[in-house]
Amino acid sequence: MIERLVVAIGGNATHPENIRGTTEEQEQIAARAARALRPLAETVPELVITHGNGPVVGKILLSQYYAREHIAPMRLDVCVAHSQGGIGHLLMQGLEDELARAESGRRVACIITRVVVDADDEAFATGTKPVGPFFSEAEAAELHRTLGWNMMEDAGRGWRYGVPSPRPRRILELDLIAGLAKQGVAVIAAGGGGIPMVLRADGSYGGVPAVIDKDLTSALLATGLGVDALLILTAVPHVALHYRKPQQRELETVTAAELDGYRREGHFAEGSMGPKVKAALRFLARGGKRAVIAHLDQAADALAGKAGTQIVPG
């Protein structure tokens, strides 16, 4: 039996590309995620859920652009905090509704989570993390010309805004997350990879304009909590080699060494499966027993070893 589990939900699993993004649509998507998570919430004593925010934080940035003549824009770390609260609220309500239908008294809590990064991380010199909606090449060129945005092609699906993505080093709310989880509360935390913070000279922390990859933060969180497994849920059923090519091959059970070999061969795009694979490998390298990458709708079967890509040490 799994006693402690971190579940990471992809940004496109909570805000897929094919919706306008209305509150009603987001509520429906959150309810769907909650239905998939309900079996885990009913059986895993210590459960922590993380989520992406790529589509949402990008829309916040676009909204600020269109309102720039009337409202002062927020720094990117504050935009991440806004997305944490909004997405966390919808997931929390959806999961509590599902648990209530099952007549479960389990509570759900959302913790606004800050994550420390290095001030001199080389990522601040580039913009490699894609956020927001997809654009055509012509639209991307116009955004670069008018806004100065660093636009990048993302996994063959279009162009997106690329922002700095430093490596997560420490989760400031780790003790609070662990304490609530041990009390049996299902905890939603580290949304969007966490709010990026740096340590100042006076010993305080300050936010910086960046977006941390939520899969890498999820791996760091899973290690810090000492969980039994890391379950990464996304919009595809397996990790695949030669993705979207005629020779595509899905992986079912694979060792960390085998998966790392495939990664080094360039099989996993940075804007797609790449961060998930890196997160799984980091978790296992730090003593994790099992990592799973699977479709959101198959969460329970994936945890039981009946679906998804099962990644084991070795």
pLDDT tens for residues 238-262? Answer: 999 999 899 999 999 999 999 999 9
Q: Which of 10, 11, 127, 288 does the annotation list as catalytic?
A: 11
Instruction: Give the whole-number percent of the chain exceeding pLDDT 90.
Output: 72
Contacts of 218 by beta carbon, 8 Å cutoff, 6+ apart: 6, 8, 50, 190, 230, 232, 279
Query: What would the DSSP string read from start to end of 213-261?
Result: -HHHHHHHHHHHHT-SEEEEEESSSSEEESTTSTT-EEESEEEHHHHHH
Torsion angle in degrees (nearest 10) through CA of 207, 210, 215, 219? -40
Summarize the confidence of residues 44-58 as an average pLDDT. 91
Q: Which of 10, 194, 214, 308 does the annotation list as catalytic?
A: 214
Inter-CA distances, 155 with 243, 277, 289, 294, Å: 10, 15, 30, 19
Mean pLDDT of the chain: 92
**Does the pLDDT at position 271 exceed 80?**
no
Question: Is the pTM of the predicted complex or chain greater than 0.95?
Answer: no
**Does the pLDDT at position 85 exceed 90?**
yes
Length of the chain: 314
One-letter amino acid identity for 284? L
pLDDT at residue number 162: 86
**Does the pLDDT at position 11 exceed 80?**
no
pLDDT at residue number 19: 77
The answer to whether residues 313 and 256 touch, using CB atoms and an 8 Å cutoff, is yes
pLDDT at residue number 184: 97
Under the banding of pLDDT at 50, 70 and 90, the label for residue 12 is: low
Summarize the confidence of residues 210-218 as an average pLDDT. 95
Q: Which of 12, 150, 207, 274 does the annotation list as catalytic?
A: 12
**Does the pLDDT at position 268 exceed 70?**
yes
203 is annotated as an active-site residue: no
pLDDT at residue number 13: 61
Inter-CA distances, 267 with 12, 38, 48, 217, 292, Å: 20, 33, 29, 22, 18
278 is annotated as an active-site residue: no
Spatial distance between the Cα atoms of 102 and 100, rounded to a whole number of angstroms: 5
Q: Buried (b) or exposed (e) across 59-94, using 16+ Cβ within 10 A?
A: bbbeeeeeeeeeeeeeebbebbbebbebbbebbbbb
12 is annotated as an active-site residue: yes
Inter-CA distances, 24 with 90, 205, 235, 241, 269, Å: 10, 36, 20, 36, 32
**Does the pLDDT at position 8 exceed 90?**
yes
Query: What would the DSSP string read from start to end of 92-114?
Result: HHHHHHHHHHTT----EEEE--E
Whether the CA torsion 21, 72, 123, 161 is positive or negative: it is: positive
Under the banding of pLDDT at 50, 70 and 90, the label for residue 63 is: confident
276 is annotated as an active-site residue: yes
pLDDT at residue number 93: 95
Lowest mean pLDDT among 66-75, 182-191, 215-224, 274-283: 66-75
| 128-175 per-position pLDDT tens digit | 777 777 888 998 898 888 777 888 888 677 888 888 999 999 999 999
The DSSP output letter for 192 is G
pLDDT at residue number 156: 74
Q: Which of 10, 127, 129, 191 does the annotation list as catalytic?
A: 129
Spatial distance between the Cα atoms of 309 and 305, rounded to a whole number of angstroms: 9
The answer to whether residues 16 and 235 touch, using CB atoms and an 8 Å cutoff, is yes
**Does the pLDDT at position 20 exceed 90?**
no
**Does the pLDDT at position 14 exceed 70?**
no
Q: Which of 276, 278, 288, 308 does the annotation list as catalytic?
A: 276
108/235: higher pLDDT: 108
Spatial distance between the Cα atoms of 225 and 4, rounded to a whole number of angstroms: 8
Q: How many CB atoms lie within 10 A of CB 249?
A: 12
